[in-house]
Structure 1
Amino acid sequence: MLGMMAWNDGEGGSLLAPWRVYTPQDDTQLLTQALDREHVPAGAAVLDVGTGAGALALAAARRGARVTAVDRTYRAVLATRLNARLARLHVEVLRGDLFAPVVGRRFDLVVSNPPYVPTPGEVPRRHRAAVAWDAGADGRLLLDRICRSAHTLLRPGGVLLLVHSALCGITPTLAGLERSGLEARVTDRRLVPFGPVLRSRGAWLRERGLVDADEEKEELVIIRAERPR
């Protein structure tokens, strides 16, 4: 089932999203603002990994970029294709696991808002809405894979913009990207109230030492990593 959701993309637009597809939230907004600061010339090749309903892909396409969007669920692929058509924007939308659909290709800019919520149990639940945010016991199930492989997708001088929660560790992300040869740094931070998922896992998060007893907010970060020329 498709439903209309409100999302201020800076262009007065809104998106259609089916149930189980990640809807834009604070992390999407923070990443969109980081995208706005990047020099994205007309014709630049942009990749949106884990596109969800396509908010970031459409934001890049509005800047004249040649955009490819990837997601592993059929629902997200359908939603992004539909939203691009409604916005009269061209976006190539591919289904697959992370970078698998674009192996061998190079991009000027890669943006990603992957699942990053620490999850009881090692493997995230499948075929449910939780697949859009659950990311293993430490929240790094996909983040570590992105850190290892992102450099293979970037042209010299290309940039990766990645958003995630500090709950799953900022230092491991920076270290992983730097080990792959990228120059990485935190450019943005934002404190946001716990949503329903984190509130429901409060006791488990406290038990693991990921949050304090009275903590009710998480820190989101944008990490910018550049491949040297």
Structure 2
Amino acid sequence: MTAAPIQTLTRRRVLPVGENGSLWKARPSCGVFEFRGRRLRLTVEDPAEVLFPTDCGLSLIAALSGDRAPDLKGVNALDIGAGSGLYSVALLAAGAERVTALDINPAFAAQTAANVVANGLDASRLTCVTSPLEEYTPDEMFDLVITNPPHLPHDPSYAREDGLETALVARRGGRAVYDSVVEQMDTLLAPGGTLLMAHSSLADIPRTVAELTARGYEGDTLEIFEMDIPLLAYAEHKDTMLGLLKEQRATGRAEFDGARFTVHALMFRRPAERR
């Protein structure tokens, strides 16, 4: 079965130029956000170990506060690339029955759990798993999968072995985790389930949409955000990174204007099994 094309939006929420973290009340290691009627707080003890969420990740939270967002009450959810626990905290606060937080960075688990507890949420409903996505073999399928994959292209000149690297940079032109999500989704997401994704325009959105649509998933764009490319952490290598992105743009694999790009809050539904 071939699903209908994803809805195309033309309007976008434009975040102020040069104001890194403009969706946050405060940065870079502590922030407050509101989600579905609850005021939540996120803290990162060491931003070099576990990245404090950027606007790219927070944009999906903002989109999920809209009228077209799915019901989160009672779901069994998987948070891929959980980091400091932004999505895990939000899902539990919105009434998710259980959340499994998955990340390749071993430092994430303690930080995610601490943020769940600090917000007065039931930590027994959270499970943290340290593993590459490709090696993760759960005992069950999930009602909902949520993710904000790393989206900046890798280059040896600025490669580093820390939490910042795993959160922002990926091989295959920034597509490595996107590709893994698509490849693993039929194993992870239950029939009738929902995939929520913050998808950067720097990492070939049309490819992801086409591949999931070919699998029968029905796609929808909840909202589009325009913001600065997160280059502050790579200021010394800005020219190299922008050069790689320009190469990808020339071949149709990235879209951006100067130092501005867009993040699409995407929702895909897996078809229910036929009886």
Structure showing greater Rg: 2
- 2-structure distance, mates of 1:64, 1:128: 29
Query: What's the CA shift string for 1:115-134, capped at 9, x where partnerless?
Result: 1112235x964335222110
Q: Is the 8 A contact 2:76 2:143 kept in 1?
A: yes
Work out whether 1:48 is the aligned partner of 2:48.
no
Distance 1:99 1:68, change over 3 A: farther
Work out whether 1:205 is the aligned partner of 2:237.
no
- Once the 2 structures are TM-superposed, how far is the Cα of residue 74 of structure 1 from its aligned partner? 1.5
Structure 1, unpaired ranges of 5+: none
- 1-structure distance, mates of 2:264, 2:99: 24
- Residue type matched to 1:72 in 2? I
Work out whether 1:178 is the aligned partner of 2:221.
no
Work out whether 1:26 is the aligned partner of 2:55.
yes
Alignment map for 1:80-91 (pairs within 5 Å): 80-89=112-121, 90=123, 91=126
- 1-structure distance, mates of 2:181, 2:34: 25
Structure 2, unpaired ranges of 5+: 1-27
- 1-structure distance, mates of 2:159, 2:196: 24
Query: What's the CA shift string for 1:59-114, capped at 9, x where partnerless?
Result: 10012211111111121111001111222322221111126445241111110011
- 1-structure distance, mates of 2:182, 2:218: 12
Taking structure 1 as the reference length, the TM-score comes to: 0.86
Partner of 2:39, secondary structure, is: coil
Taking structure 2 as the reference length, the TM-score comes to: 0.73
Q: Is the 8 A contact 1:144 1:176 kept in 2?
A: no
Work out whether 1:68 is the aligned partner of 2:100.
yes
- 1-structure distance, mates of 2:137, 2:263: 28
Q: % of aligned pairs identical?
A: 27
Name the structure, 1 or 2, with higher relative contact order (CA <8 Å, separation 6+): 2
Distance 1:142 1:4, change over 3 A: closer
Q: Paired residue for 1:108?
A: 143
Work out whether 1:8 is the aligned partner of 2:42.
no
- Residue type matched to 2:83 in 1? G
Alignment map for 1:128-143 (pairs within 5 Å): 129-143=164-178
Q: How much is the aligned-residue C-alpha RMSD, in angstroms?
A: 2.6
Q: Paired residue for 1:192?
A: 227
Distance 1:118 1:7, change over 3 A: farther
